[in-house]
Amino acid sequence: MTTPSAPLTPEQQPAAPAKKGGALLKKVGGIVVAIIVAVAVKVGLPHLTGDAVVHAEAGECVTVTGPDNEPKVDTADCSSGKADLFKVVKVVDDTFDVEKCADAGEMALAQQLNSDKFVLCLDKVAK
């Protein structure tokens, strides 16, 4: 008769085969999460921080605040009497050339909203 061998310790146990499907799923899941985060930041962050650019139309009124090199533009009621209230005289799309407002408005403001670039030609609203 033979004596049974001693049971194997965990270090002596043969390694279980790696699951290939789990690693692939984790990699694809990570990529999907990264894409979702990137889109959320691109689309949502300006609205969450209040730094959204307004693509106003001619006839609308806007307030312009902030420094000259990074002005913040918000739509406003033309009869609000707010300081820094301007009426949009003309909108020139697909350019940053503020000289396009030479014939319209006292102030020109180049803006970009996502991939759209445009210039707002503005006149100060009298109080």
In a domain, 79, yes or no: yes
Range of the domain at 28: 21-51
Whether residue 85 sits in one domain with residue 40:
no
User: What residues form DSSP beta bridges with 73?
Assistant: 64
Q: For position 6, what pLDDT does the model report? A: 66
25 shares a domain with 70: no
- Per-residue pLDDT reduced to its tens digit, 20-49: 556 766 676 666 556 665 555 454 444 444
Q: How far apart are CA 53 and CA 97, in angstroms?
A: 17
Query: Do 68 and 41 reside in the same domain of the chain?
Result: no
Q: What is the pLDDT of residues 43-95, one digit of tens each?
A: 444 444 444 567 889 999 999 888 888 888 889 998 888 878 999 999 999 99
Q: How far is CA 60 from CA 3, 91, 126, in A?
A: 96, 11, 15
In terms of C-beta density within 10 A (0-12 exposed, 13-18 middle, 19 or more buried), how is residue 17 classed?
Answer: exposed
User: Does residue 118 belong to any structural domain of this protein?
Assistant: yes
Domain membership of residue 10 (yes or no) is no
Average pLDDT rounded to a whole number, residues 84-110: 88
pTM (two decimals): 0.56
